[in-house]
Structure 1
Amino acid sequence: MTFWTGTRRALAVSSRLQDKVAVITGAASGIGKEIALTFAREGARVVIADLDRDRAEAAACDIDSSGRRAIGVAMDVTSEEQVEAGMSRAIEAFGGIDVLISNAGIQIVAPLVEFEFAQWRKLMNIHLDGAFLTTRAALRQMYRQKSGSVIYMGSVHSKEASPLKAPYVTAKHGLIGLAKVVAREGAAHGVRANVICPGFVRTPLVETQIPEQARELGLSEEEVVRTVTLKQTVDGEFTTVADVAETATFLAAFPSNALTGQSIVVSHGWSMQ
């Protein structure tokens, strides 16, 4: 089976996620958009949820301009009202929710002793409150269906720590705890939950972070990449969005509860378990 993208390019579709409905937050760009594109190629119908409605709709159009297999919705994941409305729109459009990718996130870099409480709360709200609100809304539908997969976008910082990233590290560790609870509670309803923990992916988020760290550490951007960002990898390479999307596909398509409550590190060896 094939379908047309907004650029009139036919995409071949395989069957790992055939007709599954996936809601992906923060999916207008970066990792989220790559997951949406990969899921669509695997046969899924995708809901691009993003703070920016226009960019969400544009990303959906890149996948399928007809709206039959991809739609964009505006969603501030910290807003209970917007999350509920977005999930309702997904169900209305496609009849259910089989996969939730909780991906929306930001990064704020500063020494802990100088970190503004308002900035701490902003990051926590997006990463943890957003994960809670989208999970709760998705689970209600998944429990009715007796099936589903919840995938959180963690980080190597779900396992490790780096200077200047106190709230980010705290939030990403928290996602592992949430996934374990969802795995326990969801098992009786056919729902699995796992966390993907990428290393450094050269997304707009990381592109912003590199100069911020350079200023804080008194280094050049090239030195930050070589001696901080990729220092612990086995090959000095960034993780790619394709690496993460393939992992998400594997988790979403996994057929049983044998793989639930787990966190998978995708980092070129930056962190080894």
Structure 2
Amino acid sequence: MSELRGNVALVTGAGSGIGRAIALAFARQGARLGICDINEAGAAATVSQIEEIGAEAIAVSMDVADEAAVERGTEAVAARFGRIDTMVSNAGIQIVHPIEEFPYAEFRRMIDIHLGGAFLLTKACVRHMYPQRSGSLIYMGSVHSHRASPLKSAYVAAKHGILGLSRTMAIEGAKHNVRSNVICPGFVRTPLVDKQIPEQAEKLGISEADVIAKVMLKDTVDAEFTTPEDVADTAVFLAGFRSNAFTGQSITVSHGWHMG
């Protein structure tokens, strides 16, 4: 029997990309899913794919930067399935500028979605996890949780902040048997990354091919992109781990881009 059989997981940003891959991997392991996304059509499409493999899921419209929307969405998942066992805080965007040109409103938007969204979702989910004395909090960090890159002051700041939030939750959650960990992928070829390639080419004055070879993949061991499935496999491991022995950690999935 799968170790995720009956597990109720709430995944944000699950209407596409890494979030969808995680949701499908959980579904294949027998989990029941709350598919949360600001893109309602994308969330519905993910639900359809999950139902095709015989698992249960509901689509939830959620802007993770809106506290009321996060609260409503979390309660909808709990009402449908009776509990919440796993939180995957994955929703995110990317905006790149050199700092002298970075509009403060866009910086705030990045922080509100990545870090603020993780905070709000955690707050909503632990209200269900603490009374049942179990749960797994999984945050989507990045290699940029550990390393910096030009043009990404907001993203790097937010992803570093997620490490701090997760580590705090490992301590606060321990007495409730709730674990907290961060997945830190390298570059994954999603629409979010595809959008960055021409943007960085323009900002850095290099070709798109050089952005891929000399910026995104230059420090990997094999010049390969991380895949959504690589990240999803890691999330399945974290959700199914059976004790507090594994908490407060960050797992880097990056073809060796960041080691340590």
1:235 aligns with 2:237: no
Shift of 1:16: 2.2
Partner of 1:251: 238
Q: In structure 1, the residue corresponding to 2:175 is in which secondary structure?
A: helix
Counterparts of 1:112-123 in structure 2 under 5 Å? 112-123=99-110
Partner of 1:164: 151
| Distance in 2 of aligned mates of 1:135 and 1:230 | 32
Counterparts of 1:81-100 in structure 2 under 5 Å? 81-100=68-87
1:25 aligns with 2:5: no
Partner of 1:196: 183
Counterparts of 1:4-23 in structure 2 under 5 Å? 15-23=2-10
1:110 aligns with 2:97: yes
Superposition RMSD in Å? 1.2
- State the one-letter code of the partner of 2:11: I
Of 18-27 and 53-62, more deviation after overlay is shown by: 53-62
- State the one-letter code of the partner of 2:198: P
* Matched-pair contact (CA < 8 Å) for 2:27–2:55: no
Shift of 1:55: 1.8
Instruction: Please list the CA deviations of residues 40-92 of structure 1 after superposition, one character each: whole Å capped at 9, or x if unmatched.
Output: 00010011100012221221111116997111100000111111110111011
| Distance in 1 of aligned mates of 2:244 and 2:78 | 24
Partner of 1:222: 209
- State the one-letter code of the partner of 2:99: L
Q: In structure 2, the residue corresponding to 1:189 is in which secondary structure?
A: coil
Q: In structure 2, the residue corresponding to 1:194 is in which secondary structure?
A: strand
- State the one-letter code of the partner of 1:135: T
Q: In structure 2, the residue corresponding to 1:18 is in which secondary structure?
A: coil
Q: Which runs of 5+ in 2 are unaligned?
A: none
TM-score (norm: length of structure 2): 0.98
* Matched-pair contact (CA < 8 Å) for 1:60–1:67: no
TM-score (norm: length of structure 1): 0.93
Partner of 1:176: 163
Partner of 1:270: 257
* Matched-pair contact (CA < 8 Å) for 1:61–1:71: no
| Distance in 2 of aligned mates of 1:77 and 1:239 | 25
| Distance in 2 of aligned mates of 1:73 and 1:207 | 26
Partner of 2:128: 141
Partner of 2:198: 211
Q: In structure 2, the residue corresponding to 1:49 is in which secondary structure?
A: strand
Residue 33 of structure 2, aligned match among 43, 46, 55: 46
Shift of 1:117: 0.3
* Matched-pair contact (CA < 8 Å) for 2:10–2:77: yes
* Matched-pair contact (CA < 8 Å) for 1:61–1:67: no
Q: In structure 1, the residue corresponding to 2:59 is in which secondary structure?
A: strand
* Matched-pair contact (CA < 8 Å) for 2:12–2:35: yes
- State the one-letter code of the partner of 1:168: Y
Q: Deviating runs (4+, > 4 A) in structure 1?
A: 65-68
Of 50-59 and 155-164, more deviation after overlay is shown by: 50-59
**Matched residues, number:** 260
- State the one-letter code of the partner of 2:41: D
- State the one-letter code of the partner of 1:93: R
Identity %: 59
- State the one-letter code of the partner of 2:90: N
* Matched-pair contact (CA < 8 Å) for 2:28–2:53: no
* Matched-pair contact (CA < 8 Å) for 1:23–1:101: yes
| Distance in 2 of aligned mates of 1:68 and 1:269 | 34
Q: Which runs of 5+ in 1 are unaligned?
A: 1-13
| Cα gap change, 1:135 to 1:26, in 2 (>3 Å) | same
- State the one-letter code of the partner of 1:28: G
